[in-house]
A and B are shown apart, each in its own frame.
Chain A
Amino acid sequence: MRKKYIIVSVIAISLGIILAILPAKKIRTEVRPNQMLMELLDETRYMSVDKVAEYIVEQNRFGLLIDVRTPEEYAEWSLPGAFNIPFDSILSPNYEYILNQDIYTNILFSNGTTYSSQAWMLLKRKGYTNNYIMKGGLNNFITTFLTTQYPLESESNETFDLYQFRNGVRQYFTGSGEIPASNEQEPKNEIIIKKNKKKEDDVGGC
């Protein structure tokens, strides 16, 4: 065998031994601070209560409502079809298949937006996408659909359309004008999500 091949082989094996000895590098999965800042400046993480109501009324199966309040609060009252993933369990591996996927749109909510925003930030730092916050939380949801006032005659058509929609949502929920006292729709506990951590790239061969 030629000398040069022996030298190359020795170098290659030496590099291989170094790689085998080197400690496993900690894999960075969290979003970098500068990217996090950009995300926080972007208001698109919020979803309006009207949009959320649209998901509920249309029974859009691609929208998953996630209540991050405590199980006690959830048992007391929540939005129809909502899951309960308490804030202190948001990073539990049991819920990763729901929170880390790109098929369903996850809508996080709490009474206000404090807990849902904190949950969203934790998920964002983990690099999970497809999670949104219901703007204003349940308080805003109830206020919006219970206290909708009939618009003035001088208001625009869009305002009247919005009133009609909100009134329709109120009718959908109550038939009278009050938000129901408990979950009328069973949570979608049996959803099957194919885990898809990374986006599909073009793949090639030789």
Chain B
Amino acid sequence: MGPLTEFGILNHEGGILAAFIIGIAFGFILEQAGFSSSRKMAGVFYGYDFVVLKVFFTAAVTGAAGLLFLNYFELIDLSQIYVNRFFPPAAIAGGVIMGLGFIIGGFCPGTSVCAAAIGKIDAMAFVGGIIIGIIIFAETFPLFKNFFNMNPKGNIKLTELLGIKDGIFVLFFIIIAIVVFFVSSKIEKKVKKVEY
């Protein structure tokens, strides 16, 4: 049955429309969960609020387990799901830059757009910074091209890289998530509350 676009149930335009609707729903839920607050977002780095960690871990666990069950019941063909190409050096560099931007600005790209949409000026500045960064990156790409394409691993999943079964990986991931939830709750109780 799925992915809908790969099996011709949704055409290209239908896929874009579906993405638009899901995007609105995603933004709405982010805002409702308080992710439009940069203080709340940055709280994960200072130990006073781990809601970001919890929400994204929950989303990852739900998504991973859900996809595997859907695949098992033949409601989705996982082999047709697009997997990003993996370039380890570029991914590490990008992760560091993203993390720094997250700490300094208090948003990640998605939540900044969400916060800008409800009129937060800091988020608008953040989005402006993203756009300028994209333009600079695009214009100077030839300088980074070799590094960007270094050590390509292809469209590979972590389980393929590690050589383990998807289900076992998800089980470990669930256990890690529960441990992280438990530990972060303990830290939250010890760190002084921040009002925002």
- How many angstroms from the CA of A29 to the CA of B175 in the assembled complex? 32
Q: Is the interface of B mostly helix, strand, loop or mixed?
A: helix
Contact indicator B170/A20 (Cβ below 8 Å): yes
Q: Please give, as numbers and ranges, the residues of chain B lying within 8 Å of A202 by CB-CB distance.
A: 19
- Least distance between B102 CB and chain A CB atoms (Å): 10
B141 at the interface (CB under 8 A from A): no
Q: Mark B38-68, 1 if CB is under 8 A from A, else 0.
A: 0000000000000000001000010001001
**Which residue from chain A places its CB closest to the CB of B80 in the assembled complex?**
A198
Pick out which of these stretches binds chain A: B108-116, B119-127, B132-140: B108-116
Residue in contact with A24 in the complex, picked from B56, B165, B177, CB distance below 8 Å: B165
- How many angstroms from the CA of A35 to the CA of B68 in the assembled complex? 25
Q: Please give, as numbers and ranges, the residues of chain A lying within 8 Å of B28 by CB-CB distance.
A: none
- Least distance between A124 CB and chain B CB atoms (Å): 15
Residue in contact with B155 in the complex, picked from A5, A15, A198, CB distance below 8 Å: A198
Q: Please give, as numbers and ranges, the residues of chain A lying within 8 Å of B77 by CB-CB distance.
A: 27-28
B contact residues, range: 35 or more
Contact indicator A205/B109 (Cβ below 8 Å): yes
Q: Is the interface of A mostly helix, strand, loop or mixed?
A: loop
Contact indicator A12/B79 (Cβ below 8 Å): no
Contact indicator B171/A16 (Cβ below 8 Å): yes
Contact indicator B167/A21 (Cβ below 8 Å): yes
B142 at the interface (CB under 8 A from A): no
Contact indicator B79/A16 (Cβ below 8 Å): no
User: How many chain A residues have a CB neighbour from B under 8 Å?
Assistant: 30
- Least distance between B52 CB and chain A CB atoms (Å): 9
Contact indicator A13/B168 (Cβ below 8 Å): no
A4 at the interface (CB under 8 A from B): no
Q: Please give, as numbers and ranges, the residues of chain A lying within 8 Å of B196 by CB-CB distance.
A: none
Q: Please give, as numbers and ranges, the residues of chain A lying within 8 Å of B111 by CB-CB distance.
A: 206
Contact indicator A20/B165 (Cβ below 8 Å): yes
Q: Please give, as numbers and ranges, the residues of chain B lying within 8 Å of A12 by CB-CB distance.
A: 61, 65, 174, 177-178
Contact indicator B78/A22 (Cβ below 8 Å): no
* Interchain residue pairs with CB less than 8 A apart (24): A9-B178, A13-B175, A15-B65, A15-B69, A16-B173, A19-B68, A20-B167, A20-B168, A20-B170, A22-B167, A24-B166, A24-B167, A27-B78, A28-B79, A195-B154, A198-B80, A198-B83, A199-B82, A200-B82, A201-B82, A202-B19, A204-B110, A205-B109, A205-B110
